[in-house]
Structure 1
């Protein structure tokens, strides 16, 4: 694990945009105009935000052409998650071939998990939805570190060969490769950058649920189920949806609400493919 520690310790300081976003996120004043002024400093964030807002995953009726409109439709927390994710991926630039994706596909994978959780938790609790929006989008940032390590050891192809069939869970292969799952690495990255403890605690043991503090158990369970349904190598396949249902049942979560959320998300994606 020392190689992970070394890579995390070598990360540059957070850019001022992320620092401002984190300060905004943890402040009682969630004025969208203040958020807009922060993200307007970063053209990449604006571009990513508009791309996400115009994705079929969110099924807005008309094209979203301005960041202020995107914030209004996506909500403050979702906008923050996109901005944080975009900035972090820019810092942690890497080749993601170990997972069989490029950075655009990785962003789409993150969007997919966030969209599923957004739809699912809307039928459970507004508070839960707000609290899970950011960890849903950011929980697998650690994959960028793992892919870099795999490449540095010349194990990119071997890693992908192990995960592409879906016979071995991705997190098991990650732990075999580097000793930690991507969720654990993400939590360690956030500790290094001194981000919110609540954000860290919701993410850290998603792949090792028995270690989760009871306060964060339901959040971690929902994150795990959504991550399973949207597994990076074959998102929303019948096989992975079935695994997600099994997990949800094991956790005592509402299967019916999950099924409705998955159906709704699949309908949106189908409409996107047909348009």
Structure 2
């Protein structure tokens, strides 16, 4: 089954040219908003997604946002980049997370809430560090789209859902039934698309943080805490908060900033 998944990855289409241009733009030292506007406006689907998100209840702006330039002015260059990249990936993989018991709307809501949380928590980190962590948090569940398809096609849906409903750890279920985890699949997808090696490593080793290189281990630890806190089945539950705080203690993070981010994100969720 593992070989079938890897073969499926090799048949994925390339990422749209718009995303390649955005990724080049992201790496520039001097970023001009007008340049990003020109890149994004080449992709009508990306424009529509940005406008939909910026006009959602997530932000609650008083007036309707109607242009990409306005989106960038209000939400910032980096957030615009993150959303554009994720939209491109979602369009290529065709979202269906039915086996995991979650729909597209809730998945998007959880993802955006996790980004707000990370932004609050590691606000004092330098831009390069923060960018890699946020991108990892935004994209680390990507492998679930391919795994969902595999679960359905292999007739494993009923068994998978029973184990999900029983509260068994998702990584354990994936290993047992499809012989690979979400994060390993995500890493392989991003290798195929030639994403940044640091991003790939942060995601690939989140199930085994100690195997991550020292250079990326702290980022991987942060991702582990975020994926624990925002578990798709019960994001921001009291149980997951305690698990996340325990991991933070083990990783020697300052709990003051983490607690502040958790409490503030709770307010955003209400």
| 1:15 to 2:21 alignment | no
1:49-77 Cα deviation digits (max 9, x unpaired): 23333455556676544322222333222
Q: Which sits farther off after the overlay, 75-84 or 188-197? A: 75-84
Q: 1:54 to 1:171 in 2, by over 3 A?
A: farther
Does the aligned pair in 1 maintain the 2:206–2:224 contact within 8 Å?
Answer: yes
Q: Which sits farther off after the overlay, 75-84 or 50-59? A: 50-59
Query: Partner of 1:200 in structure 2?
Result: 200
Query: Partner of 1:113 in structure 2?
Result: 114
Q: 1:148 to 1:33 in 2, by over 3 A?
A: same
**Following the alignment from structure 2 to structure 1, what is the Cα–Cα distance between the partners of residues 201 and 245?**
24
| 1:135 to 2:136 alignment | yes
1:115-150 Cα deviation digits (max 9, x unpaired): 21111111x424333332222111111111111111
The 5-angstrom pairing of residues 1-275 of structure 1 reads 1-58=2-59, 63-122=64-123, 124-127=124-127, 128-166=129-167, 168-270=168-270
**Following the alignment from structure 2 to structure 1, what is the Cα–Cα distance between the partners of residues 194 and 203?**
14
**Following the alignment from structure 2 to structure 1, what is the Cα–Cα distance between the partners of residues 63 and 244?**
32
**Following the alignment from structure 1 to structure 2, what is the Cα–Cα distance between the partners of residues 185 and 44?**
26
1:204-238 Cα deviation digits (max 9, x unpaired): 21121121111001111111101111101111111
Does the aligned pair in 2 maintain the 1:77–1:133 contact within 8 Å?
Answer: no
Q: Report how far residue 250 of structure 1 moved.
A: 1.2
**Following the alignment from structure 2 to structure 1, what is the Cα–Cα distance between the partners of residues 87 and 70?**
18
**Following the alignment from structure 1 to structure 2, what is the Cα–Cα distance between the partners of residues 245 and 51?**
34
**Following the alignment from structure 1 to structure 2, what is the Cα–Cα distance between the partners of residues 176 and 47?**
39
Q: 1:81 to 1:3 in 2, by over 3 A?
A: same
Query: Partner of 1:273 in structure 2?
Result: none
Match of 2:122, SS? Answer: helix
Report the RMSD for the aligned CA atoms in angstroms: 1.9
Runs of at least 5 residues in structure 2 that lack an aligned partner in the other structure: none
Matched pairs, number = 268
**Following the alignment from structure 2 to structure 1, what is the Cα–Cα distance between the partners of residues 37 and 62?**
22
TM-score, with length taken from structure 1: 0.90
TM-score, with length taken from structure 2: 0.91
Match of 1:252, SS? Answer: coil
Match of 1:236, SS? Answer: coil
**Following the alignment from structure 1 to structure 2, what is the Cα–Cα distance between the partners of residues 8 and 156?**
21
**Following the alignment from structure 2 to structure 1, what is the Cα–Cα distance between the partners of residues 121 and 109?**
18
Does the aligned pair in 2 maintain the 1:81–1:138 contact within 8 Å?
Answer: no
Q: 1:164 to 1:21 in 2, by over 3 A?
A: farther
Q: 1:164 to 1:192 in 2, by over 3 A?
A: same
Runs of at least 5 residues in structure 1 that lack an aligned partner in the other structure: 271-275
